[in-house]
Structure 1
Amino acid sequence: MSVRHLFTSLLVGLGPAAPAVVNALAQPDPTVYGWTTGRVWASAAALVGLAGAVIGGLALARSAGRVGTGTGRRGAVVALAAGLAGTIVGGVVVAVADGGPGAGYGIVGGYVALVVGPIAVLLGGLALNRSRRSHRVG
């Protein structure tokens, strides 16, 4: 007699719900599919950090006089703020996660945010520093 048949015979009093309960109990892998709250927060943090990195890169290029006009100061400040927000939210997601990848806590997205966020802060800081120097000179 298989484990599934044993569970079914024990849960026969549950009526139509018995097969669903048996399937839920017989699943050894706790992998969660779909969007959970942790995954949403982690994805948002990673996307904010990525946007900050892109904006910081453009601001750095603008402050060097390669793209467009202006010093890129506004983009540098936006990159700093987005990178900081992505890093903080990603850190919180990683800190409160109870499981590893696939558990539904968003730990992979949190780690991505912890990598991309500081890159955005670095690029924004470099662009802000360069825009201050170019503003003093010219």
Structure 2
Amino acid sequence: MSVHLLAEPIAAASLTSGRFWSLVAALAGVIGLIAGGLALARMRSGNARRGAFVALTAGLLGMAGGGYVVAAAEGGPGTGYGIVGGFIALVLGLLAAIVGWLALSRARRVA
């Protein structure tokens, strides 16, 4: 007979390693969204292509970090593994990658 122990909830104020890495990945996604938005807004300038690359790269990094946190989590929400932040980082990274790709494709047409 095997005994399955449920994971103990961790206080929301404590910063575990899983929560830290999900925050870092989400921050990369936010940076990518900002860079992509600025690249779309300044399409006529020469920095639009650079901003699109930054957005695309930051978005992919955010998705990779969020995916790692979600894959490594051994418990659900509230256990301290950062799974909620990992999912948020996945979504933000995906949005940043889409905006970066869109800005890059528009920058090619403008140039």
User: 1:71 offset after TM fit, Å?
Assistant: 5.0
Specify which structure has the bigger relative contact order, considering alpha-carbon pairs within 8 angstroms and separated by 6 or more residues: 2
Are residue 54 (structure 1) and residue 34 (structure 2) matched? yes
> 2 CA distance for matches of 1:29 and 1:124?
39
Which sections of structure 1, spanning at least 5 residues, go unmatched? 1-27
Q: Which residue is equivalent to 1:40?
A: 20
**Deviation of residue 53 (structure 1)?**
0.8
Structure 1 residue 29: Cα displacement: 7.8
1:31 matched to 2:9: yes
- In the alignment, the residues of structure 2 paired with residue 38 and residue 131 of structure 1 have an alpha-carbon distance, to the nearest angstrom, of 37
Q: Which amino acid aligns with 1:109?
A: G
Q: Contact conserved, 1:45 with 1:113, CA < 8 A, in 2? A: yes
Distance 1:71 1:105 in 2: 38
User: Aligned partners of 1:87, 1:129: CA distance in 2, in Å?
Assistant: 21
Please name the residue that 2:93 is paired with.
117
Aligned residue pairs, count: 104
**Residues in 2 aligned to 1:29 and 1:38: alpha-carbon distance in whole angstroms:** 15
Normalised by the length of structure 1, the TM-score is 0.71
The one of 96, 100, 124 aligned to 2:76:
100
- Deviation string for 1:56-113 (max 9, x for gaps)? 11111111x4xxx335010000000000000011001001101111100000110001
By percentage of residues, which structure has more helix?
A: 1
- Give the partner amino acid of 1:30: E
CA contact (8 A) 1:48 1:85 kept: yes
Aligned CA-pair RMSD: 1.5
Gaps of 5+ in 2: 1-5
Asked which structure has the greater CA Rg, the reply is 1
3-state DSSP of counterpart to 1:35: coil
